[in-house]
């Protein structure tokens, strides 16, 4: 009971602190904008820990964060193997293939108005579909190892990137294109020096959406069959053995990997599209 009461007090105190901080001038600085969400995140973890202990929730239902952290520390090598299998082999290779081919196809179909008019509605339609459902088929075609995961990822990231790139290639203004024409620039020069750079904000929008999809695709595809390693494999088997702390450890790794991947792409975006209004501060 004391744990529950203490948790309530902790929550109230942390929230009051956040309200004070939010009202103060601190939040105008960069550090202040980081500190408030950090306190909120820590509060959530504290409340989780306190409630699990206070209400004596069995660890097969919800392990406390401390137990998950201990599990992560105790099984880093296993987590690393899973990470390599799912993220590096499955998700990253599929992401690279899918995004590159989508950009190439977008550049190709951009030359034909007919193809654009035909493919864009189809592409939009396909990006709204539950494409993860294709996972069992691809696992059947490409076998249990990472190739089938990469194939699922390719299919999942292809259409969002394609649709965004085609939209981006339209972003260069007529005036700018005319200017290129007056300089006697060839099609490929115009593409390389004007239209692709102008399309970058759109392309990166697609690339950022695709980061999450890539990890989801790689993990879900493992539910349909995988070698005896990989995050999806570990999650589904540990759930069966009620080893919930290991499951949460995998989820923490997945969350970290997903956020880091997204952050990396966002960082590259800031470097590449520094000229765009949305990057100004």
Partner 1 sequence: MKAILPVLAVIAAIVVLWYGAAVWMNAAWVRDQAARAGETVSFAQIVPQTLNQERPVLPTPHQVVAELWKGVAGQAVTSKRSLVYHGWITLSATLLGFAIGTGAGILLAIGIVHNRAMDLSVMPWAIASQTIPILAIAPMIIVVLNSVGVTGLVPKAIISAYLSFFPVVVGMVKGLRSPDAMQLDLLRTYGASQGQTFAKLRMPASLPYLFASLKVGVAAALVGAIVGELPTGAVAGLGARLLSGSYYGQTVQIWAALFAAAVLAASLVAIIGLAERLTLRRMGMDR
What is the contact surface with partner 1 in residues (CB under 8 A)? Answer: 15, 18-19, 21-23, 27, 33, 36-37, 39-41, 60-62, 114-119, 121-122, 125, 128-130, 132-134, 136-137, 139-141, 211-212, 215-216, 219-220, 223-225, 231-232, 235-236, 239-240, 242, 244, 247, 250-251, 254-255, 258-259, 261-263
Query: Minimum CB separation from partner 1 for residue 18, in Å?
Result: 5
Closest separation between CB of residue 114 and partner 1, Å?
5
CB 168 → partner 1: shortest distance, Å?
Answer: 19
> Do 251 and 86 touch, CB atoms closer than 8 A?
no
Nearer Cβ to partner 1 (6/225):
225
Nearest to 162 by CA among 84, 74, 96, 102: 102
Q: What is the largest CA-CA distance in the chain?
A: 79
Closest distance of CB 259 from partner 1, Å: 5
CA dist 197 to 158, 168, 200, Å? 20, 9, 5
Minimum gap (Å) between residue 19 Cβ and partner 1 = 4
| Minimum CB distance to partner 1 smaller for 162 or for 198 | 162
Residue 147's Cβ-side half-sphere holds a number of Cα atoms within 13 Å equal to: 5
The radius of gyration of the chain's CA atoms, rounded to the nearest angstrom, is: 24
Cβ proximity to partner 1, 15 vs 183, nearer residue: 15
Q: Which is nearer to partner 1, 180 or 214 (CB)?
A: 214
Query: CB-wise, 155 or 198, nearer to partner 1?
Result: 155
User: In angstroms, what is the minimal distance from the CB of 178 to partner 1?
Assistant: 27
d(CA 281, CA 279): 6
Q: Which long-range contacts (CB under 8 A, 24 or more apart) does 257-264 make?
A: 257/83, 257/87, 257/215, 258/211, 258/212, 258/215, 261/211, 261/214, 261/215, 262/208, 262/211, 262/212
For partner 1, give the closer residue by CB, 3 or 142: 142
Helical packing angle, 65-74 and 76-83, nearest 10°? 80
């Amino acid at each position: 009971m004391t744990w529950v009461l203490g948790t309530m007090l902790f929550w109230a105190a942390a929230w009051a602190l956040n309200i004070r901080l939010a009202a103060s001038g601190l939040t105008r600085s960069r550090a202040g904008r980081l500190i408030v969400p950090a306190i909120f995140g820590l509060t959530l973890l504290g409340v989780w820990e306190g409630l699990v202990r206070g209400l004596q929730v069995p660890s097969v239902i919800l392990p406390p964060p401390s137990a998950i952290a201990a599990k992560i520390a105790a099984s880093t090598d296993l987590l690393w193997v899973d990470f390599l299998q799912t993220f590096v082999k499955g998700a990253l290779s599929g992401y690279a293939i899918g995004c590159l081919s989508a950009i190439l196809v977008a550049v190709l179909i951009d030359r034909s108005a007919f193809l654009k008019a035909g493919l864009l509605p189809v592409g939009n339609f396909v990006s709204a579909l539950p494409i993860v459902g294709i996972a069992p088929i691809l696992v059947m075609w490409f076998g249990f190892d990472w190739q089938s995961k990469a194939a699922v990822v390719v299919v999942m990231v292809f259409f969002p990137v394609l649709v965004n790139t085609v939209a981006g290639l339209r972003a260069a203004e007529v005036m700018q294109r005319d200017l290129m024409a007056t300089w006697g620039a060839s099609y490929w020069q115009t593409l390389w020096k004007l239209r692709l750079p102008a399309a970058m904000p759109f392309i990166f929008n697609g690339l950022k959406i695709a980061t999450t999809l890539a990890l989801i695709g790689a993990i879900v595809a493992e539910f349909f069959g995988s070698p005896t390693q990989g995050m999806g494999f570990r999650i589904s088997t540990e759930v069966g053995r009620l080893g919930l702390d290991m499951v949460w450890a995998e989820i923490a790794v997945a969350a970290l990997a997903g956020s880091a991947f997204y952050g990396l792409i966002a960082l590259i975006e800031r470097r590449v599209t520094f000229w765009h209004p949305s990057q100004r501060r």
